[in-house]
Amino acid sequence: MDFFDSRNYRINKILLSIIGQWPFQSPRTSHTIVIIFVLIVCSQLFVKLCGMFSYIYDLDTVIECLIPILIDISGLTKIMNSILYANEIRGLFDQIRDDFLSLRNSSDIEILRKYADNGRRLSTIYVCLLYMVIVIFLLLPLKPLIFHGANTTTRPLLLHKVKYYYIDIDKYYFLIWIHGYLASLICGTWIIAADATFMIFVQHACGLFIVTTVRIERVIQQKGCLTRDANSSITEDKEYQNMMRCICDHKAAVRFTDLLEVAYSKHFLFHVGMVMMTISVTGVGAIAQLQDKSELLRLTVLSWALLFHLCCECLNAQRIIDYSEYVYNNLINLNWYDTSLRTKKLILFMMMKIQAPCILTAGGMFVLSMETYATLVKTTMSYFAFLRSAQ
C-alpha cells in the first residue's frame, strides 16, 4: 500500500487527484483534468465578466455580479499556484514520507503520527464546513424549483446575472444552469483541496519542531550528561554527537518550512488581497439584499466562510511561528550548562541561530499571523465602509 493511502493523507490524495494536482499522478491524467476544468471555469468567468459590464452603470448590480467573479478568480489563483509550484509541493510530500520512513525511535514516530492525525482532523473539518457553505450557496437559488416545480416562471435563478449569454437562454436554460453549478463546484474544490493540503504541511512542520525539541531534551537530560574532560575526543563525546544530530533535525524542519514559504508566499500575497476585496463586496451586496431573505442568507454565509478561510491561513502561519519559537524557549530552560564544554559551545551557537522564529509571509511583504489577521479584518471593514458610502 502506498504511504499516502493511509487515513491521515487519504482525503488530501482524493481531493488533489480530483483536480489533477496529486503530485504522483501521471502527467497525461493531470494535464487532461486541469485543461478541462480550467476551460469550464474560464468560459463561465468570461460570461460573468460580460454580464457585469452590461450593467456597468448600475452599481448595485455590478457589486452583485462581482462576488462570483472574485470567487472564480480566487479559485483560479489556487490552481495556478499548484501548477507553478508543483515541484515544491511534490518535494513537501516526499519529505513527509521520508521523515516517517527514516525515523527509528518509536516515540519520535508517534509524535509525527500525532501531528499527522491532527492535520487529518483539521483538514476534514475544514473540508466539511466549506462544502456545507458551497451546498447552501448552490441550493438557495433552487427554492422555486423545490417548492413549485420546474416551469418558465418558477425555474431556479441562475447563479449570476447575465444580460447576454451568446446563446438562447430560454432554449438552453438547463445546460447554462449546469454549466454555472459545475464551474462553482470546481472552483470550490480547487480552494478546499489547496487549503486542506496546506494544513497537513503545517502540522507536519509543527511535528518536526516538536521531535527536535524532544531529542534535545533527551541529550541534555540523559544520565551521565555531566561536564566532561575538555581534552576528550569528539568520538567519545556522545552528547556532542547527539547534539549535532539535533541540529541536523532542526535544519530539516527549517528546510521544510522554507519550502512551504517558496510554494505559498506569492500566492498568499495575491490571495489575501482577493479575499479582503471579496468580503467587502459581499458585505455590501448583503446589505443591498435585505429584502430578499434567501439571498441575504446566502451572502452572509459566504462572508463568514471567507473570514473563516482567511483565519485558517493566518492561524496555520501562526502555528509555524509558535512551534519554531518553542524549540528556542525550551532549550534555554534546560540544564544545557551541565553538558561537555564542546557541547555547550555548540548549544550557544544553536541558540543564536534559532532565536528568530520561522515565518510564512505574503510575498515577503508582511508576515502572516493572527495579529496580521486582525489588521486585515480592520482593513476589510474600511474597504466595506468605502464601498457602502459610494453605493
Residuewise pLDDT in 10s, the chain (391 residues):
678 888 889 999 999 999 999 999 999 999 999 999 999 999 888 877 777 776 666 666 676 777 778 888 888 999 999 999 999 999 999 999 999 888 777 888 899 999 999 999 999 999 999 898 888 777 766 665 555 554 544 455 556 665 556 666 677 777 777 888 888 899 989 999 999 999 999 999 999 999 999 888 888 876 555 445 555 566 666 777 888 888 888 899 999 999 999 999 988 888 888 888 888 877 777 776 667 676 677 777 778 888 888 898 899 999 999 999 998 888 888 777 777 777 788 888 888 888 888 999 988 888 999 998 998 888 888 877 777 776 6
Closest CA to 264 of 202, 319, 188: 202
* Residue 159 DSSP SS3: coil
| pLDDT given at position 55 | 66
Dihedral sign computed on CA atoms, order 8, 10, 16, 22: positive
Contact 88, 258 (CB under 8 A): no
| pLDDT given at position 236 | 62
Report d(CA 234, CA 216) in Å as an integer. Answer: 18
Contact 45, 69 (CB under 8 A): yes
Give one DSSP letter per residue of 321-390, joined into a string.
HHHHHHHHHHHHTS-GGGS-HHHHHHHHHHHHHHSSPP--BSTTSSB-SHHHHHHHHHHHHHHHHHHHHH
Contact 187, 74 (CB under 8 A): yes
In sequence order, what are the residues at sequence separation of 6 or more whose Cβ sits closer than 8 angstroms to the Cβ of residue 99? 112, 204, 208, 252
Contact 310, 373 (CB under 8 A): yes
Residue spans of the domains in the chain: they are 3-222+237-390
Residue type (1 letter), 206: C
Report d(CA 177, CA 309) in Å as an integer. Answer: 27
Residue type (1 letter), 228: R
The three grid cell numbers given for residue 198, joined into one nine-digit string: 496546506
| pLDDT given at position 379 | 84
| pLDDT given at position 180 | 81
Report d(CA 303, CA 195) in Å as an integer. Answer: 17
In sequence order, what are the residues at sequence separation of 6 or more whose Cβ sits closer than 8 angstroms to the Cβ of residue 115? 203, 204, 206, 207, 210
Contact 127, 196 (CB under 8 A): yes
Contact 215, 112 (CB under 8 A): no
Report d(CA 159, CA 367) in Å as an integer. Answer: 36
Alpha helices in the chain (DSSP H): 10-18, 27-54, 59-84, 86-102, 106-139, 143-148, 173-221, 238-288, 293-332, 341-354, 370-390
Contact 367, 359 (CB under 8 A): yes
The number of residues in the chain equals: 391
| pLDDT given at position 160 | 63
| pLDDT given at position 1 | 60
| pLDDT given at position 235 | 65
Residue type (1 letter), 108: D
